[in-house]
A and B are shown apart, each in its own frame.
Chain A
Amino acid sequence: MTTADLLEKVAQVLIGLAVFAAVVGLVMFVVDRAPKKRRDVVQLVAFLAPACILLAVGLIWPAARTTYLSFFSRSGQWAGLDNFIWIFTQEDALITVRNTVIWVVLVPLLSTAIGLAYAIFIDKSRGERFFKALVFMPMAISFVGASIIWRFVYEYRQSGDPQIGLLNQIVTLFGAEPVRWIQEPPINTFLLIVVMIWIQTGFAMVVLSAAIKGIPTEQIEAAQLDGTNAWQRFLNVTLPGIRGSLVVVLTTISIATLKVFDIVRTMTAGNFETSVIANEMVTQAFRAGEVGRGSALAVVLFILVLPIVIYNIRLLRQQREIR
């Protein structure tokens, strides 16, 4: 990168910000000087219109158009439900659907289970904050970065050569042959899922830990006086006490998992039978030129996410009302 390039980019950003500020400032200036009678209406429009127009043009209309496009073939001919039939009958597409199901079953369950266990184990311990930061850290970094971190763990070297990937090092320590983890279905899908679990556990842990702290101490002490053991207290006091948060965590992670794209794209680009719907959508629409199929995949994704999101939102509202 030359200095000229750098200056040019800085200039682009500054001009972008300046134009934006100028437009907003100008609108505000004009609005304040609108004729008194109509001022309230003008002000309302000035405040709301930018966001509403952007949403209409950039989200509502595109979503409708994607749905419409999903009924057309590659050549622009009306195709009825052909694209959807393709998703659920053609072998490669079926693998994609199957993988998505595996992802959305395993990731929420395992990350929540591990997150919950960890939250309980470190609860009220020395250095709790530090332990939390360790597990929460993956939430901060990009899925792409996380994928590189794990690709390095899965790296393969020929049998006999020193291994540089941790997983194969462990495998060879036990005398087994090293494996090309990323290229070996069906294990590779599960290894990609590990990356997502690694990321989402921190989220589950922080939310559940806060929920655990919210359980009244009296309840736990009462259970202790009754002579219950730790496992009974967990089942009968802790678990009912955090039920709401538990469901929120599960649904939230399910939504994130259904939309997962970056991990698959970076690790395998969807090859070796690892593709999922969100990744296949991009591949079909922007690589293979199959706009109809890509749109149909997006619609399927939307339909899958819809009930979970509605449930998630309803839960959140209930929890707010309770407080």
Chain B
Amino acid sequence: MSVTPADLPIPGSKPARGAIEVAEEGTTRTGRVKKRLTSRGATVAALVIAVLWTIPTFGLLISSFRPREEIIDNGWWTIFQNWGLTLENYQEVLLSPSVSAPQLGSYFVNSLAIAIPATIFPLVLASMAAYALAWIKFRGASTLFIVIFALQIVPLQMALIPLLQVFTSVIQPAQEWVSDTLPFIPTSNFLQIWIAHTIFALPLAIFLLHNFISEIPGEVIEAARVDGASHSQVFFRVVLPLALPALASFAIFQFLWVWNDLLVALIFSGGTAEAAPLTQRLAELTGSRGQEWQRLTAAAFVSLIVPLIVFFSLQRYFVRGLLAGSTKG
């Protein structure tokens, strides 16, 4: 049994589990007693890799709690000689209203304001399309599916320039017209970036959800159809609830992808505190204030906290979603 990157849980099988847990089970199956590492050399090598992989993050984490003078004057590994911990850095990067401060509070909100709709929109549209491709019979269904599937090979970079032109020539005027005629709908600074993320998510999302939805037993859907349910009723009442594990995996993957994205934000957000996400602000800070480590360290952790929470709390879905989407972009 191999876990391939396109693996999503199959309906009717055991509840979704991540590669890590599947792996765990393999351990107990092969040998009930957990044995030690194969040899001493291997133990040392594994420990060295584990330490090497953890130290850089750990150093930054420690530093983010150190006072400014200490960070700049001596290494974080001398913390016991130069003791001092403080929350000031976090307070400053998040809350300080001063113009020169990073003001991450507002970018944090932007990141959420971008990522939540940019997860929901493609999820809904893709599951609708996946349902139609799998369960509404029409000529050319499989061709269309292959075309959408093949679109995964187009790198983001191929679409950026023309898409920006479309946005500035069509979406912006349209939005202004709407808010002029219907004043209760304000122009949204996030609209462009929502649409861009939605488009770029669709090929992968349709492909993965189609794999899942097409394996729902036909009798379930036929039964509902015979009872007179329309396609939209079947979709909402039967297919979506059954597809929940796949939806969750994809949602987590897409949320983190958007949260961590820099490229799409850089092109479509405009770069102001009105709409730019944390990643863009961080990249800007490293460019202009690359030496202010008291700010950079804390700022980096503000942006890392959400992915880390997701990683540690939803590991099973996370690993699955991540493996499935590893070629996206």
Contact = CB atoms under 8 A, between A and B. Distances in A.
B202 A51 contact: yes
A44 B106 contact: no
A277 to B, nearest CB: 9
Interface stretch (A73-81, A98-106, A312-320): A312-320
Contacts of B6: 316, 320
Interface stretch (B27-35, B216-224, B242-250): B27-35
Interface residues of A, number: 132
B121 interface: yes
Residue of B49, B117, B315 contacting most chain A CB atoms (<10 Å): B49
Residue of A52, A58, A151, A323 contacting most chain B CB atoms (<10 Å): A58
Contacts of B322: 139, 203
Contacts of A131: 46, 50
A144 B283 contact: yes
Nearest to A65: B162
B80 interface: no
Given A51-B206, A121-B45, A316-B6, A286 B267 contact: yes
A224 to B, nearest CB: 12
A316 B4 contact: yes
Interface string A166-197: 10010000000000000000000000000000
Given A12-B189, A135-B49, A135-B50, A145 B303 contact: yes
B178 to A, nearest CB: 10
A302 B155 contact: yes
A288 interface: no
A278 B266 CA distance: 14
Contacts of B31: 124
A145 B327 contact: no
A39 B175 CA distance: 32
Interface string B102-133: 01011001100100110011001110110111
A282 B266 contact: yes
A209 B19 contact: yes
Interface in A56-70: 57-63, 65-67, 69
A114 B75 CA distance: 28
A129 B286 contact: no
Contacts of A225: none
B134 to A, nearest CB: 10
A24 interface: yes
B303 to A, nearest CB: 5
A143 B262 contact: yes
A252 B327 contact: yes
B105 A1 contact: yes
Residue of A16, A139, A252, A313 contacting most chain B CB atoms (<10 Å): A16
> Secondary structure at chain A's binding surface: helix, strand, loop or mixed?
helix
> Secondary structure at chain B's binding surface: helix, strand, loop or mixed?
helix
Given A201-B53, A281-B157, A66 B162 contact: yes
Given A131-B46, A210-B3, A43 B160 contact: no
A193 B152 CA distance: 25
B60 to A, nearest CB: 5
Interface string B302-315: 01100110111001
A211 B113 contact: no
Contacts of A139: 322
7 contacts: A31-B230, A47-B128, A121-B42, A152-B296, A165-B75, A166-B59, A266-B262
Interface of A: 1, 5-6, 8-13, 15-17, 19-20, 24, 28, 31-32, 39-40, 43-44, 46-48, 50-52, 54-55, 57-63, 65-67, 69, 114, 117-118, 120-126, 128-129, 131-145, 147-153, 155, 162-166, 169, 198, 201, 203, 206-207, 209-211, 213-214, 217, 230, 242, 244-245, 248, 252, 255-256, 258-259, 261-262, 265-267, 269, 278, 281-282, 285-286, 291, 294-295, 297-299, 301-302, 305-306, 309-310, 312-313, 316, 319-320, 323
Given A55-B203, A152-B297, 12 more contacts: A15-B185, A47-B231, A58-B166, A62-B158, A124-B30, A128-B23, A136-B319, A137-B308, A142-B259, A210-B2, A282-B160, A316-B6
Interface of B: 1-6, 19-20, 22-24, 26-27, 30-31, 34-39, 42-43, 45-46, 49-50, 53-57, 59-60, 63, 71-78, 103, 105-106, 109-110, 113, 116-117, 120-121, 124-126, 128-129, 131-133, 136, 138, 144, 148, 151-163, 166, 185-186, 188-191, 194-196, 198-200, 202-203, 206, 230-233, 235-236, 256, 259-263, 266-267, 273, 279, 282-283, 286-287, 290, 293, 296-297, 299-300, 303-304, 307-308, 310-312, 315, 318-319, 322-323, 326-327, 329
